[in-house]
Amino acid sequence: MNNTVLKSDVILPLSNNVTRLQLSQLEIPKEWDQFFNRKEKREFIKNLKRQIKKSRYCTPMTVLKFEDKYIIVDGVLRFLALQDLNLNEADCIILEKFPESSDELKDWIIEYNIKSVPTVDDLIRLLRHYLRNTDVEDGEVNCNRKYGFITETLGRGWGRNNVITVKKTLTLDEKNPKNCLQLSKRLCNKEISFDRANKAIKILENKALNYTLKDEKKAKIISGFLSKNYDQRKAESLIRQYKTKINKGTTNVTFNHKYSSDRYLILPGNSLDTQFPEGTLINGIFTSIPYFNIINYAENGIVPEQLDLGHELEIGREKKREDFVKNIVDVMKIGAENMTEDGVIIINLDDTYKDSVCVGVVALLILEMQNAGFLFIDQMIWEKSNPKPQSNRTSRFTNSYESILIFAKSPEYYYEQLRIFDPTKSATVKRGCSEQGNKGVNTKKSYHISNPYKTMRNFLCDNDIEQILKLNISKERSQDEGLQNGFFGSFPSLFPLPFILSFFPENGVIWDCFGGTGTTGKLALMLNRKVIISELYDKNIAKIYETLERGTSEYDENEYRSLKNDFLSEGNDLRNVA
C-alpha cells in the first residue's frame, strides 16, 4: 500500500455538534473486545482504510467521556483504520449520558453496531447479551423496548415472536455449546426458518416426548425436520418410535408381511406412527375411532404382565378432549397425505358424558377437521334399537345413537348413489345359529342368514339410506371372539355397507386406522375393495387376519355383481361437487 500519509484536516466533520479529538484521547472499551475479535476484523479494517483514502471522509465515532479519556461506543474499527493511516485526529460525537454499569455499556455498543456487524458469530454474541434481560420478571417495559429495537433495526422477518424464538435458541445453545443442532447459528445464517426453529424448540420442551439433545445426536430426527424432510407431526411420530425402540427394545410400527395378500395389508402399531409401503395410495378412510375416556382397551380383562406395549400409546386415554381430537385429526392427516384427491374420510364415533354433561367430542372433531382443511360433507346417525341402559341417576335421556361423520379431501369427492330396490325374495334363514361373538345373547331367538350377500340385501332394503341407519347394537355384532379383550367398541358387521358402496370405488383401497375386529376389512373385501388395517395390539392381529381371510374366501363375484346392479346407480363414477 502507498505510504502516503493523509492529513487529518482533509477529513471533514458532519455537523456543528461534532467534536474533533486526538486519537490518543480515545480508548477501546474492554466490553467491545468481549464481543468482537480484532484479528477477525483485519480484512474489514483494510477495506475501511481504502474507503477513507478514496473518499477522504470518515463517519464520526460516538464516544463518552470518562475522566481524561473518551470511551468509544461506536466506531472502533474506524478508529483502528485511522490509526493504521497514521492520522492523529478524528471527528467524534460525545454522548452526554453515562452508562450505569458495564452491561449497560454493552447494550449501547450493541445498539450502535448490531445492524452493521459483518459475521453471524458477531450477531449471535450481540443478541445473546442484549436479550439476556427480556424475561417478564425483568420488566415488561424493558422487554418491549428491546424486542422493539431488534425488530426495527433488523427489519423484515424479525417480528416480536421471531425475536423471542431467537432468544430461546440462544439460551439452548449457551447451555449446550457443543450440541449438534446449533439452532441460533443456523437461524441467524438464514439456513432455517423461524417457524422450524420454534417448532424444534417445542419438540425438545415437550415432556411427553422426553426427547433430548443427546437423543438427537444419535437419531437426528429434528435435523431431518429442519431440513424439511418431513413436518412436525411426522417428526414427533418418529421420536415416539425411536423412544419406544430405546426403552422397550422394539418399535411400535412394523410391516408384518406375514399378514398380507394382494387384497389386504395389516399394519401393527400406533396409527399416529403409520408408515405406508412406498407407493401406497388409498382412496379413503372408514374407521370407528376409540371412545374418549370410556374404555381402556388395553386392560379390560388383561393382567398387567400380558399388556402389549401399545397400551401406553392408546388414543382415547388422553386427559383433555383437545389432545384426543388433535390425535384423531393427525391420524387423518397421515391418511390424506397418501390419499387420492377424490378420497373421503368416514368416522364413526360416540360422544363422552361426564356427570351427565356432554364433553362435546363430536362437535370439536368436526371443527378441527375443518380447520385442518378437510371438507365436512355430512353427519349421519346410527340409531341403536336396543341401546345400553343407563343409571337412574343420569339426568338426561338415554343415549341411543352414534354419529357418522363424512369428510372429503377435495370438493370433487367420489360418490356413487345408492338406489332403493324392491326385492322379490327374502333371505333364507336358519334357526339356532348366532353370529360368532354373541355370547350371552338368547340363542333361541338368534338367526343365521345363509348367504351373506342376501344379508346385505335385507339391510339395504330395511334402510332407505338417508341420514339415519337403524341397527341392533348386540345382534350382528362384529366378530370379536379371540381378541385381546371383549372389544366392547365393535360395531355391527353390516354397518359400513352403504358407505363402502357409495364412497369407495371398486378395487379402491380403504384404510381402517383403528382396526379393532377387522369388520370394515372383511366387508370391504366382500365388496371387491382392498383394505389396509392398522391395529395397536399385537395379540389382536391373528384374529383380524382370520377375519380378513374369511372376507377373501367369502367373496362371490356373481353375488356381488348382482348386488351392485340392483342397488347402485347406472353411472359407474358419479362425482359430487360440494
The answer to whether residue 98 scores a pLDDT higher than 70 is yes
pLDDT tens readout for residues 70-82: 999 999 999 999 9
- The pTM (predicted TM-score) of the whole model is 0.50
Whether 33 is covered by a domain: the verdict is: yes
Q: Judge if 112 and 261 occupy the same domain.
A: no
Q: How confident is the model at residue 423 (pLDDT cuts 50, 70, 90)?
A: very low
When the pLDDT of each residue in the chain is averaged and rounded to a whole number, the result is 77
Q: What pLDDT score was predicted for residue 550?
A: 87
Scanning 355-510, the segments in alpha helix (DSSP H) are: 361-371, 452-462, 497-503
**Three-state DSSP class for 483?**
coil
Whether 169 is covered by a domain: the verdict is: no
Q: What pLDDT score was predicted for residue 77?
A: 93
Q: How confident is the model at residue 305 (pLDDT cuts 50, 70, 90)?
A: very low
Q: Looking at this protein, which amino acid is placed at residue 575?
A: R
N-terminal to C-terminal alpha carbon distance within the chain: 76
Examine the fold and report which residue of 118, 133, 167 is the final residue of a domain before the chain moves on: 118
196: left (phi over 0), alpha (psi -120 to 50) or beta: alpha
Whether 320 is covered by a domain: the verdict is: yes
Q: What pLDDT score was predicted for residue 530?
A: 93
**Three-state DSSP class for 457?**
helix
Whether 331 is covered by a domain: the verdict is: yes
Q: Which of 8-12, 169-173, 444-448 has the highest mean pLDDT?
A: 169-173
C-beta of residue 110 within 8 angstroms of C-beta of residue 42: no
Examine the fold and report which residue of 75, 93, 118 is the final residue of a domain before the chain moves on: 118
Q: Which residue has the higher pLDDT, 495 or 168?
A: 168
Whether 373 is covered by a domain: the verdict is: yes
Whether 179 is covered by a domain: the verdict is: no
The domain that holds 103 is classified in CATH as 3.90.1530.10
User: What is the share, in percent, of the chain residues with pLDDT greater than 70?
Assistant: 72
Q: What pLDDT score was predicted for residue 426?
A: 39
C-beta of residue 110 within 8 angstroms of C-beta of residue 130: yes
Residue 253 pairs with which residues in a beta bridge?
A: 269
Q: Which residue has the higher pLDDT, 282 or 250?
A: 282
- Say which range, 357-366, 428-437, 451-460, has the weakest mean pLDDT: 428-437
Q: Which residue has the higher pLDDT, 1 or 382?
A: 382
Q: What pLDDT score was predicted for residue 89?
A: 92
Whether 494 is covered by a domain: the verdict is: yes
Q: Which domain holds residue 279?
A: 257-388+398-569
Q: What pLDDT score was predicted for residue 83?
A: 93
Distance CA 21, CA 79 (A): 11
Total domain count for the chain? 2
Q: Which residues of 532-562 are buried (b: 16+ CB within 10 A; e: fewer)?
A: bbbbbbbbbbebbbbbbbbbbeebeeebbee
Q: What pLDDT score was predicted for residue 527?
A: 92
Residues 6+ apart with CB under 8 A from 545: 259, 266, 518
pLDDT tens readout for residues 370-380: 999 999 999 88
- Which phi and psi angles does 304 have, rounded to 5°? -55, -40
Examine the fold and report which residue of 88, 118, 148 is the final residue of a domain before the chain moves on: 118
C-beta of residue 479 within 8 angstroms of C-beta of residue 435: yes
Mean pLDDT confidence for 100-107: 87
Residue 405 pairs with which residues in a beta bridge?
A: 347, 379
Q: How confident is the model at residue 536 (pLDDT cuts 50, 70, 90)?
A: confident
pLDDT tens readout for residues 514-528: 888 888 899 999 999
C-beta of residue 536 within 8 angstroms of C-beta of residue 513: no
pLDDT tens readout for residues 284-302: 999 988 888 766 555 444 4
Q: What pLDDT score was predicted for residue 294?
A: 66
Whether 222 is covered by a domain: the verdict is: no
Please, what's the largest Cα pairwise distance for the chain? 117
Q: What pLDDT score was predicted for residue 307?
A: 39
Distance CA 574, CA 568 (A): 11
Q: Which of 109-113, 175-179, 270-274, 318-322 has the highest mean pLDDT?
A: 175-179
Among 501, 552, 497, 499, residue whose Cα is nearest residue 522: 552
C-beta of residue 403 within 8 angstroms of C-beta of residue 361: no
The domain that holds 449 is classified in CATH as 3.40.50.150
Mean pLDDT confidence for 450-468: 62
